[in-house]
Structure 1
Amino acid sequence: MPRLLEPGDPAPLFVVPTPQRPDFRFDTVAGRYVVLSFFGSAGDAQSARLLSAIAAEVGPFNDGHAAFFGVSQDKNDAQPGRLPTRVPGLRHFYDFDSKISTSYGADQRKVSYVLSPGLRVLARFPIEDGAEHAKMLAEFVSRLPPLTRLGTTTPGAPVLVVPYLFEPHFCRALIDYYKEVGGKESGFMQSLPDGRTAAAVDHAHKRRKDATIEDDELRQGMKARIEQRLVPEIKKVFQFNATRIERYIVACYDSGEGGYFRAHRDNTTKGTAHRRFAVTINLNADEFEGGELRFPEYDRHSYKAPTGGAVVFSCSLLHEALPVTKGTRYCTLPFLYDEEGAKIREQNLSYFADDDLRSQLERNLLEKGAKRGAKPVLSKSTNEGTG
């Protein structure tokens, strides 16, 4: 029998169907305390009491301090009304093949885990009396430190802030370019059930418009500044030699639309697996409110680069662009990778569901293949993006 997880163990991550969607990514719930309760079946009397008690009172399970996720192994629980759900705070996962339960040592056990905001095990409790179990969980989670205090003992997200990357006149030139050509709806990349990568638009997840920079002078200006001023800093801090740039865009988050990008990672699909570092360069930091970056796995602090400055971070970090509450935020959002990443990108071209996009990327790789070397290479790409 697989072992139960112990306090301090990292929680196994998974992609799972829920009553609302077929491919929920569990890693995106980081940033709050999480209860993951393996109750087996809502048809079980004690499990039914547990879920009923959690549903009856919000308590600490409000999605801000904590969230409760039940894990069902019973296909009958897919019937409408079988699982009590409450938003915010109470949701469920379908684990009908028991893969998730097995990875947590809970295939033949009923147990609840309490996880940290960074998705590590804080505590484990067996489920015996359902009502008492719900009460004990609520009391335990309520006593955990407020998330705003975690930063007093946590050094913060591992990000690099680099000011003075773009001069004010160059920032203004990029903004003027966007205003001249206009932006188009910016989607994001998602994995289809067959493993292919496809573009999607969901305003509950992201509201942003982008303009691809076709002007060669602006593209070369971006390339030169990133190469001369940012790449050496990344090499010094992260010991990574970026040789390639993906994506030349000006992005626009408009407060009229509440522009935002919910928590996500930038390298989770076959089409984006080559990405190594995300770069957020603000072009008009003094002209908008909100719009900061936040890394919920680490703390509730937010990061906002000054005009012409950049926030740089690993593409594997969970991050979100908070809503712009006043004004309009303009920024440019390249990704950086290296020659090893270029090989991964080329190998994964066949996974793009969009034939036109795949053909465009193939042409790009053919055109730029001869230029592989120490310097960043111009490259167009997909539009899943950082904040």
Structure 2
Amino acid sequence: MIDIGDFAPDFVLPDQKGRKIFSRAPRFAGRFILMLLLPRADDPAQQAILRDCATQATAADSAGISILAVTGKSPAENQMLRLNCKAGFKLLSDADGKVLGEYGAGEHPRAMLIDANARVIAFPLPHAIVGTAVAEATSARRTTEPVLIAAQAPVLAIPDVLSPQDCRMLMELWERENIETGVATEDSGVGAQEIDHAYKNRRDHQIADPEIIAMVNDRLARRVVPEVAKAFNYDITRFEHLRIGAYDAGAGYFRAHRDNTKPATAHRKFALTLCLNDEYEGGYLNFPEYGKQLYRPPPGGAVVFSTSLLHEVTDVTGGRRFTLITFFFGEAEYQERMARYEAARAEGREAEFDQT
């Protein structure tokens, strides 16, 4: 089932005149899409939704929203429906119901608001579809007003990777069990770590529950992996273990470092920092090679960046900063990692392979 934060599946469907419409066509570039999913468009209640949205189409357009309605009817039937409901927007024909099914519409109507990056950001209720969509789109645009960029680290910010409920659950896991963690050493033992408070001060919980791991990995696969493929042209196939890290006020920090400089970490290609809460001060992510800009995703939002980038977590000065942390890599890096592990094991050195 598609949820907030997921990418809307691409599709090509004929409109009411039989013309094929691509959901990511240039005509929709930079615009939000209000998708009306009407599996039973002959139902008076679903036709009422069409009529209501038709009367407010101008307001939607002014807010940068294009309306698309998908029905199970033929193009000819949609043409008649469009005339009867006085809808000025396109009605798309999904006669076999494949797209309606992918978008989670059964017998009942469904509306979803999709942002300019094809990400689902809201599910407006039937009684206030356009009004809700306009409010959500206006709010989203307010947070992305155009600014002149003087310097920018090559990082990727991704909102809504985890829900508020997901974030709370992960923080509760950390509260139940956590340990102080160090940094990878130059020792070729692939899992060796040492505590160095001059460099890092953080307590972690490594997630072990298979169901929670599966849930988080599913979110990352659906909401992060496609963005990395698009933005960085890299195919992620492997994740490291998932860690929940916490930095406390007056004692939490991670000085400038790179994430792939030791034998135990050489396989890492991209790092993920996902913020779980907002009740803290300080604790910014900074990439000093690219300027003094500070990064702080909203709860549930992530920053993804190359492990070759120098970065730091500034001192937490108030509250407690919770993050979900992992690293991504591909098949070639996985094979190299396995080779290092086998070499370490053959030499009889302790190698807590799964700790990296």
Q: Scaled by the length of structure 2, what TM-score is found?
A: 0.55
Shift of residue 168 of structure 1? 0.3
- The answer as to whether partners of 1:196 and 1:353 remain within 8 angstroms in 2 is no
Name the TM-score, length of structure 1 as normaliser.
0.51
Counterpart residue number, 2:71 = none
Q: Check the 8 A contact 2:286/2:311 in 1, yes or no.
A: yes
Equivalent in the alignment of 2:82? none
Q: Is it true that 1:318 corresponds to 2:310 in the alignment?
A: yes
Letter in 2 for 1:187: G
Residue 267 of structure 2 corresponds to 274
What amino acid sits opposite 2:219 in the alignment? R
Q: Which residue does the alignment assign to 1:213?
A: 207
Write the distance in 2 (CA, Å) between the matches of 1:307 and 1:355.
Answer: 43
Alpha-carbon distance between aligned partners in 2 of 1:356 and 1:185, rounded to the nearest angstrom:
23
Cα separation, 2, equivalents of 1:156 and 1:381: 32
SS in 2 for 1:275: coil
Equivalent in the alignment of 1:237: 231
Question: Structure 1 counterpart of 2:324, which letter?
Answer: T
Which aligned pairs between 1:137-176 and structure 2 lie closer than 5 A? 154-176=150-172
Shift of 1:190: 2.1
Q: Is the contact made by 2:189 and 2:349 (CA closer than 8 Å) also made in structure 1?
A: no
Give the Cα separation in 1 of the matches to 2:179 and 2:265.
21
| Distance in 1 separating the partners of 2:346 and 2:290 | 34
Q: Is the 8 A contact 2:259 2:308 kept in 1?
A: yes
Tell me, what secondary structure is at the counterpart of 2:332? helix
Give 1:201 shift.
Answer: 1.0
Which residue does 2:247 correspond to in 1?
253
CA distance in 1, matches of 2:329, 2:296: 23
Assess, with a 3 A threshold, how the Cα gap between structure 1 residues 354 and 164 changes in structure 2: closer, same or farther. Answer: farther
The amino acid across from 2:151 in the alignment is: P
Which runs of no fewer than 5 residues in structure 1 stay unpaired? 1-151, 362-379, 383-387
Structure-1 separation of matches of 2:155 and 2:347: 33
> Which deviations, in whole Å up to 9, do the C-alpha atoms of 1:261-304 show, x marking residues without a partner?
000000001111110000000000x2011111100111011111
The answer to whether structure 1 residue 301 and structure 2 residue 293 are counterparts is: yes
Cα distance in structure 2, aligned partners of 1:356 and 1:255: 37
Is 1:202 matched up with 2:176?
no
Greater CA deviation, 305-314 or 210-219? 210-219
SS at 2:320's partner residue? strand
Name 1:191's counterpart in structure 2. Answer: 186
How is 1:348-363 mapped onto 2 (pairs within 5 angstroms)?
A: 348-349=340-341, 350-351=343-344, 358=351, 360-361=352-353
Q: Is the 2:250–2:315 Cα contact (8 Å) retained in structure 1?
A: no
Q: How much does 1:347 deviate?
A: 1.5
Q: Cα gap change, 1:165/1:341 in structure 2, threshold over 3 Å: closer, same or farther?
A: same
CA 1:155 to 1:274, structure 2 compared with 1: closer, same or farther past 3 Å? same
Distance 1:354 1:291 in 2: 40
CA contact 1:244–1:338 (8 Å) conserved in 2: yes
Helix, strand or coil at the partner of 1:327: strand
Alpha-carbon distance, 1:355 to partner: 6.4
Q: Does 1:337 align with 2:329?
A: yes
Post-superposition shift, 1:352? 8.1
Q: How many residues align?
A: 208
| Partners of 1:287 and 1:328 within 8 A in 2 | yes
- CA deviation profile, 1:212-234 (whole Å, cap 9, x unmatched): 11112211111000001100000
CA distance in 2, matches of 1:274, 1:213: 21
Residue aligned with 2:246, SS:
strand
Structure 2: state its 5+ residue gaps.
1-147
User: Which secondary structure does the structure 2 equivalent of 1:177 belong to?
Assistant: helix
Q: 1:323 to 1:356 in 2, by over 3 A?
A: farther
SS of equivalent to 1:306: coil
CA contact (8 A) 1:171 1:308 kept: yes
CA positional deviation for 1:305: 0.9
| Structure-2 separation of matches of 1:321 and 1:301 | 12
Kindly report the root-mean-square deviation, in angstroms, between the aligned alpha carbons of the 2 structures. Answer: 2.2
Does structure 1 conserve the Cα–Cα contact (< 8 Å) formed by 2:160 and 2:300? yes
Q: Which has the larger radius of gyration?
A: 2
Checking the alignment, whether the CA contact within 8 Å between 1:250 and 1:332 is kept in structure 2 is: yes
- Alpha-carbon distance, 1:239 to partner: 0.4
Distance in 2, matches of 1:326 and 1:292, equals 12
| 1:354, distance to aligned residue in structure 2 (A) | 11
Counterparts of 1:164 and 1:274 in 2: how far apart (Å)? 27
2:344 and 2:350 in contact (8 A); partners too:
no
Q: Using the alignment, how far apart are the partners of 1:356 and 1:213 within structure 2? A: 25
Identity of aligned residues (%): 42
Tell me the SS of whatever aligns to 1:191: coil
**Per the alignment, do residues 170 and 199 of structure 1 end up closer, same or farther by CA in structure 2, a change over 3 Å counting?**
same
